[in-house]
């Protein structure tokens, strides 16, 4: 558990994706089964047990610590699990508060013959045990971990020959080895609610600070460590130099602690066979097309269809062992999102694998992404939600038809299968995304500029652009260059004023590369800037240097990592910001939030007073959402 | 709350001692200039120029220039000279640990504080009452300075930088192991360790050497002078090189030390994809590490942690505790809960060295000629 905790700790601070993978691979390599398997499960969200409530954690600490000191500490740290992890007494059975037993022997003062004596005997009743003997074997130290010691504080004297023997005595004896992640996971699975507090307290006694923190985050279900399930699987694949797609393919058929997976990755076993009737297939993605690309492309080679502004999904159905049809819905990264859309499952009644877009349809009309968003990331899907936000699948492609894998077939052939498949499904929740006929790129450009009259009709507002697919291309995982292109509609653009800048991460850590920008609005004391968004990409490396220099030279105040940059009517930097959409947001002072904002140009030529006003955004919002 | 506690009186001095008119606050009293000893005619760590100053250690908030006479350990005097030049005081006198010096009506002795090289607790005895002003101290092991000595006393003046039970520093050697494991894992990156230039940096270097790391260690310009001074005093730090003038590629896989503020500065651009570490007791709290954009927090402190503070307070046998700079409230509360008389001491002008060390104090010129200079060195 301590080693897993070290990993989580390090991941939480590491901003770089490749560096995170490196940390994960090192962990998988150095950690034995089944611990690493349970770690992979924890990181991919594949563990399930009943979570402990924060109140339980609070009770545990108030039984053991002075409530006033706990109050001061919680105020300072600001996070319950972390506070408890840090101030957990060294051993709740060893009277911590009288523990100056361990202090170096007082040296009598030369000025004072008798000297003051410590208030109690330096040799108390703690038994003497040699360092290291107190623990039993079974724990292999790793360079990444805290050496499997029970408790960081006690280690102070491990290599310490300057401190007195008394100090060494502080290493209490007979410590059981700290629990492994496997111990924790397997115990939690079966532990009754009444036994949880005592078991948690035992573990907290045995773990070090980082271990306690990770344990509390794990049991309260609050493990936010900034890595996705996909990244954890990518790291596992990297351990065996395999393609992450292979793991995605077999993943639904695997279960913790993934012994067969690791055996295969380390070349000790066969590739696990996915017996899952509804496996995920790695998704094919498109490149954004540039104006210059068209010169090399022949319009006749391509088929076009609308790019809907929804959620790209894969809907898979298959026969389970008993012959019943089972259906699953995956996100484009392979995460199982079936639970969020139970209303779509009955519609997926024929075995097959559909690539499509999840949309909300009301009275046959596609709603905007803002509306769809109400259905995302819901823990509880209420009947009311299902009724008010009826879900719909608009299909693009067919990867499998029954037992028949279509991915090697050309697009035109797959499209024909898809049309027949959707007809057989004959379900109002599932329809076909129409193709957009065109004879030349000019014709397609006209359709893209005006989807309403080019076939999208009343749904035109939900069209993000057009997709181009080579008629002869197979369905390839990843983002191969050439077969698929996305040609988005021109984004919305405003001029905003740079207000705050923050340092970036990784390679950009020494540059101010995260920018908060604002537009003008009428305030109590005349016009003032109100922040409307934050962007950290869109600019070139050269532009980054220019902005960084501007930020450093024009900082008016600093708040931790954030710099307040000058933004007066005649002084400041105007940024042209492009974005995909707007929605109302009570969390922002301005009341609006942008989708995918990025810096499209630096307007050194423009004085801040000529930047856009909030009213402009309000108008855009109304024209986008009709509200 | 005046005078010593009854327990102390009964135990150590017999009932007659307390009847004497000397109250502790008659011996040492906080005044705007610092801690003033009237019967001895001096101040301890004064923040304003005074006639006679006793200095606990060389950190700039404790050791300031411009006093008439300064009494301190040889190392502290040397550090002041390094920082302020030859004429930092009217006159100086070096004192050895344990040496008794009579000043007016009081006797003073200096005892190792275990904080940095040359750091001392100052014991002030007047008649039967002994007050120990500990300055900054730690009871954890440090290969670069003499270990903390416990001085039994009636009144103990303790710092409280880490005066909350969440601060428990653990073994610094384990933190160094963490650093070395990371260096091994990321051989293509440089590891940049933010560490206060006086004391912390040298301790980190010494710990790296103890852990068997024998490659050259690179230094930010601001810490060269003081680090070479440590070496002159016989503290083995292995091969050290200035980071100045190195090519980016040559710094892959290396460890460099810099003042904390430099690790988030344009200075870092000379390093290949640096892993930013910070050696400080504050790194125990995640939010603090995250605020600073730290990727590898190393919990290494030159101050006693909560267990160290409480154990030391108890072991001095003092019946009265004065608590200064840091989290006074929590420590005062703890003392009272243990039956000790305790109060916060309102001393101003002492900081926490990890919080605000200017990086650009010495000429670490920017090769790019970036416009930053003065504005960079100031903290909000």
pLDDT at B281: 94
Residue A551 has pLDDT above 50, yes or no: yes
CA distance A146 to chain B (A): 7
- Please give the positions of A annotated as active site: 307
Lowest mean pLDDT among B95-104, B267-276, B285-294, B332-341: B285-294
Nearest Cα neighbor of A3 from A24, A20, A19, A21 is: A24
Residue among A14, A73, A114 minimizing CB distance to B166? A73
Helix axes A2-13, A35-44, angle to 10 degrees: 40
Residue A392 near residue A359 (C-beta atoms within 8 A):
yes
φ, ψ for residue B373, nearest 5 deg: 25, -110
**A19-33, A415-429, B171-185, B361-375: least confidently modelled range:** B361-375
The strand pairing partners of A535, in sequence order, are A515
In chain A, which residues have their Cβ closer than 8 Å to the Cβ of B313?
100
Q: Which segments of chain B are extended strands (E)?
A: 29-31, 34-37, 42-44, 52-54, 67-72, 89-94, 101-103, 106-112, 120-126, 129-133, 155-160, 191-194, 217-219, 240-242, 255-258, 275-279, 296-298, 320-326, 341-344
Residue A485 falls in which region: left (phi positive, over 0), alpha (psi -120 to 50) or beta: beta
Q: What is the mean pLDDT of chain A?
A: 82
Q: Six-digit token pair at B308?
A: 């160290």
CA distance A526 to A458: 41
Please tell me the distance from the alpha carbon of residue A73 to that of residue B367, in angstroms, as a whole number: 44
- Judged by a CB distance cut-off of 8 A, whether residue A121 touches chain B is no
Based on the number of CB atoms within 10 Å of its own CB, is A85 exposed (0-12), middle (13-18) or buried (19 or more)? buried
Q: Of chain A residues 205-244, which have a CB less than 8 A from chain B? A: 208-209
pTM flag (> 0.80): no
CA A60 to chain B, closest CA, distance in angstroms equals 16
- Tell how far CA B24 is from the center of its chain: 25
Residue B81 C-alpha, separation from nearest chain A C-alpha, in angstroms: 31
- Determine whether the interchain pair B170/A549 forms a contact, defined as Cβ–Cβ distance below 8 Å: no
Three-state SS at A451: coil
Interchain proximity A111–B186, CB inside 8 Å: no
Decide if A77 and B285 are in contact by the 8 Å CB cutoff. Answer: yes
The whole-number pLDDT of residue A183 equals 93
Residues of B in contact with A158 (CB under 8 A): 171, 173
Q: What ipTM score was computed for the predicted complex, to two decimals?
A: 0.85
DSSP 8-state secondary structure symbol assigned to residue A456? I
Tell me whether the omega of the peptide bond preceding residue A540 falls within 30 degrees of 0, making it cis: no
Tokens 């509390």: give the residue. A216
CA dihedral B217, B221, B223, B228 (to 10 degrees): 70
Q: Which two tokens stand for residue B258?
A: 């810099």
Of the residues B286, B323, B326, the best mutation for testing chain A's interface (the one with the most A CB atoms within 10 Å of its CB) is: B286
Q: Which of A76, A90, A111 sits opposite B164 (nearest CB)?
A: A76
Higher-scoring residue by pLDDT: A563, B217: B217
In the stretch 438-477 of chain A, residues with CB closer than 8 A to chain B read: none
- Which residues partner with A577 through β-bridges? A494, A599
* From A103, A110, A208, residue closest to B150, measured CB to CB: A103
- For the residues of A114-147, what is the DSSP string, one character each? S-PPPSS-TT-SPPP--TTTTS-S-----TTTTT
> Are the Cβ atoms of B152 and A109 closer than 8 angstroms?
yes
Select from B171, B260, B335 the residue whose CB has the most chain A CBs within 10 Å, as the one to mutate to test that interface.
Answer: B171
**Residues 508..527 of A with a Cβ closer than 8 Å to B: which?**
509-510
Q: What is the average pLDDT across A51-55?
A: 85
Confidence of residue A601 (pLDDT cuts 50, 70, 90): confident
Residue A236 Cα, gap to closest chain B Cα (Å)? 17
Q: Is the pLDDT of residue A132 over 90?
A: no
Whether residue A418 has pLDDT greater than 50 = yes
Q: What is the end-to-end Cα distance of chain B in Å, rounded?
A: 38
Backbone angles phi, psi at B158, to 5 degrees: -115, 145
Residue pair B275/B179 in contact by the 8 Å Cβ criterion: no
Contacts of A15 in chain B (CB under 8 A): 295
- Contact (CB<8Å) A156/B125: no
Per-residue confidence (pLDDT) for residue B348, from 0 to 100 = 63
Q: Which residue has the higher pLDDT, B377 or A496?
A: A496
Q: Quick check: A314 and A355 in contact, CB under 8 A?
A: yes
Q: What is the mean pLDDT of residues A122-148?
A: 36
Please compute the mean of the pLDDT values over residues B82-88 and round it to a whole number.
Answer: 94
For residue A594, give both structure tokens: 């942008």
pLDDT of residue A626: 58
User: In this predicted model, which residue has the larger pLDDT, A613 or A275?
Assistant: A613
Give the residue-averaged pLDDT of B298-323: 96
Task: Say whether the peptide bond before residue A34 is cis (omega within 30 degrees of 0).
Answer: yes
Q: How confident is the model over B158-188, as pLDDT tens digits?
A: 999 999 999 999 999 999 999 999 999 999 9
Cα dist. A331→A276, A313, A348, B64, B329 in Å?
17, 5, 16, 63, 52
Q: How far is A356 from chain B (nearest CA, A)?
A: 40
- For B139-150, what is each residue's pLDDT tens digit? 999 999 999 999
* Predicted local distance difference test score (pLDDT) of residue B149: 97
Q: Which residues pair with A479 in a beta bridge?
A: none
Q: How many CA atoms lie within 13 A of A351 on its CB side?
A: 15
A80 has a chain B CB within 8 A of its CB = no
| Residue A509 to residue B152, Cβ atoms within 8 A | no
Task: Report pLDDT digits (tens) over B1-23.
Answer: 344 443 333 334 433 444 455 78
Nearest CA in chain A to B327: A72
> How does pLDDT run across A330-339, given as a tens digit for each residue?
988 778 899 9
pLDDT tens digit sequence for B12-68: 443 344 445 578 999 999 998 999 999 999 999 999 999 999 999 999 999 999 999
pLDDT at B355: 52
Integer Cα distance of A33 and A240 in angstroms? 15
How many residues would you count in chain A?
Answer: 627
Closest-CA distance of chain A to residue B264, Å: 6
| Cα angle: A607, vertex A610, A616; to 5 degrees | 145
Alpha-carbon distance values, B353 to A243, A348, B195, B328 (Å): 49, 64, 10, 17
Q: Hey, is A605 helix, strand or coil? A: coil
Strands (E), A196-292: 287-288
Give mean pLDDT, residues A230-251: 89
């Amino acid at each position: 558990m301590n080693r897993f905790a070290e990993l989580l700790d390090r991941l939480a601070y590491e901003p770089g994706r490749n560096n995170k993978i490196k940390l994960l691979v090192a962990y998988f390599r150095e950690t034995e089964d089944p611990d690493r398997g349970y770690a992979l499960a924890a990181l991919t969200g594949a563990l399930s047990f009943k979570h402990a409530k924060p109140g339980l954690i609070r009770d545990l600490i108030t039984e053991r610590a002075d409530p006033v000191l706990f109050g001061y500490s919680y105020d300072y740290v600001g996070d319950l699990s972390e506070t408890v992890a840090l101030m957990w007494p060294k051993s709740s059975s060893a009277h911590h508060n009288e523990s100056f037993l361990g202090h170096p022997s007082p040296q009598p003062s030369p000025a004072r013959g008798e000297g003051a004596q410590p208030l109690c005997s330096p040799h108390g009743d703690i038994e003497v045990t040699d360092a290291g003997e107190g623990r039993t074997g079974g724990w292999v130290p790793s360079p990444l971990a805290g050496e499997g010691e029970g408790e960081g504080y006690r280690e102070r004297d491990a290599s310490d020959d300057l401190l007195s023997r008394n100090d060494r005595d502080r290493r209490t004896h007979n410590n059981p080895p700290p629990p492994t992640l496997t111990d924790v996971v397997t115990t939690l699975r079966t532990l009754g609610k009444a036994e949880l507090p005592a078991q948690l307290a035992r573990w907290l006694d045995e773990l070090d600070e980082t271990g306690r923190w990770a344990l509390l985050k794990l049991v309260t279900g609050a493990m936010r460590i900034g890595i996705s399930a996909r990244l954890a699987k990518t790291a596992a694949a990297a351990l065996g130099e395999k393609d992450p797609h292979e793991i995605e393919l077999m993943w639904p058929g695997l279960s913790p602690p993934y012994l067969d997976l690791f055996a295969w990755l380390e070349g000790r076993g066969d590739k696990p066979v996915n017996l899952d009737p509804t496996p995920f297939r790695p998704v094919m993605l498109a490149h954004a097309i540039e104006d210059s690309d068209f010169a090399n492309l022949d319009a006749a080679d391509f088929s076009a269809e609308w790019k809907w502004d929804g959620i790209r999904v894969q809907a898979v159905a298959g026969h389970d062992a008993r012959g019943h049809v089972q259906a699953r819905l995956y996100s484009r990264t392979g995460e199982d999102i079936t639970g969020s859309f139970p209303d779509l499952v009955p519609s997926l009644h024929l075995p097959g694998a559909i690539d499509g877009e999840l949309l909300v349809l009301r009275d046959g009309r596609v709603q905007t992404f803002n509306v769809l968003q109400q259905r995302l990331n819901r823990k509880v899907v209420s009947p009311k939600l299902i009724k008010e936000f009826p879900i719909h699948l608009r299909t693009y492609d067919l990867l499998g038809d029954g037992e028949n894998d279509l991915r090697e077939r050309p697009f035109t052939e797959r499209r024909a299968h898809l049309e027949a498949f959707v007809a057989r499904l004959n379900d109002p929740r599932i329809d076909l995304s129409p193709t957009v006929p065109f004879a030349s790129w000019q014709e397609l450009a006209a359709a893209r500029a005006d989807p309403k009259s080019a076939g999208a009709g009343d749904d035109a507002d939900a069209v993000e652009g057009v997709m181009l697919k080579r008629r002869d291309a197979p369905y390839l995982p990843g983002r191969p260059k050439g077969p698929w292109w996305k040609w988005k509609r021109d984004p919305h653009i405003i001029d905003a004023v740079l207000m705050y800048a923050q340092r970036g991460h990784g390679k950009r850590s020494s540059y101010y590369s995260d920018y908060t920008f604002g537009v003008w609005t009428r305030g109590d004391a005349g016009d003032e800037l109100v922040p409307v968004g934050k962007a950290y990409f869109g600019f070139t490396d050269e532009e980054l240097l220019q902005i960084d220099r501007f930020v450093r030279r024009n900082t008016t105040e600093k708040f931790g990592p954030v710099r307040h940059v000058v933004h007066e009517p005649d002084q400041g930097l105007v940024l042209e910001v492009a974005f995909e959409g707007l929605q109302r947001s009570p969390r922002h002072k301005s009341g609006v939030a942008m989708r995918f904002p990025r810096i499209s140009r630096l307007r050194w030529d423009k004085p801040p007073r000529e930047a856009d006003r909030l009213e402009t955004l309000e108008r855009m919002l109304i024209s986008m959402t009709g509200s | 709350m005046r005078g010593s506690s009854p327990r102390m009186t009964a135990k150590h001095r017999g009932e007659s001692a307390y009847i004497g008119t000397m109250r502790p606050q008659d011996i040492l009293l906080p005044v705007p200039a610092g801690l003033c000893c009237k019967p001895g005619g001096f101040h301890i760590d004064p923040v304003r120029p005074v006639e006679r100053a006793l200095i606990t250690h060389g950190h700039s908030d404790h050791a300031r220039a411009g006093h008439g006479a300064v009494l301190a350990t040889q190392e502290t005097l040397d550090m002041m000279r390094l920082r302020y030049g030859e004429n930092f005081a009217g006159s100086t006198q070096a004192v050895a640990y344990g040496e008794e010096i009579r000043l007016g009506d009081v006797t003073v002795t200096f005892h190792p504080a275990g904080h940095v090289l040359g750091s001392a607790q100052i014991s002030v005895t007047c008649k039967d009452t002994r007050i120990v002003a500990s300055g900054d101290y730690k009871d954890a092991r440090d290969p670069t300075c003499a270990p903390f000595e416990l001085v039994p006393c009636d009144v103990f003046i303790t710092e409280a930088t880490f005066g909350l039970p969440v601060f428990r520093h653990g073994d610094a050697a384990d933190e160094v192991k963490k650093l070395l494991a990371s260096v091994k894992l990321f051989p293509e990156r440089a590891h940049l360790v933010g560490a206060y230039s006086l004391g912390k940096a040298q301790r980190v270097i010494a710990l790296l050497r103890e852990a068997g790391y024998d490659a050259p260690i690179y230094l930010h310009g601001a810490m060269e002078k003081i680090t070479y001074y440590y070496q002159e005093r016989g503290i083995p730090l292995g091969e050290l090189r200035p980071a100045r003038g190195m090519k980016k590629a040559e710094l892959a896989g290396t460890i460099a030390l810099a003042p904390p503020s430099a690790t988030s500065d344009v200075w870092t651009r000379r390093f290949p994809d640096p892993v930013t570490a910070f050696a400080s007791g504050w790194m125990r709290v995640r939010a603090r590490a995250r605020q600073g954009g730290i990727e590898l927090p190393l919990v290494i402190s030159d101050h006693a942690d909560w267990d160290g503070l409480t154990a030391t307070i108890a072991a001095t046998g003092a019946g009265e505790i004065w608590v200064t700079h840091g989290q006074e409230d929590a420590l005062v509360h703890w003392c009272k809960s243990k039956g000790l008389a305790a109060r916060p001491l309102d001393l101003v002008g002492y900081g926490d060295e990890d919080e605000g060390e200017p990086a650009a104090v010495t000429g670490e010129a920017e090769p790019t000629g970036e416009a930053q200079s003065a504005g960079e060195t100031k903290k909000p």
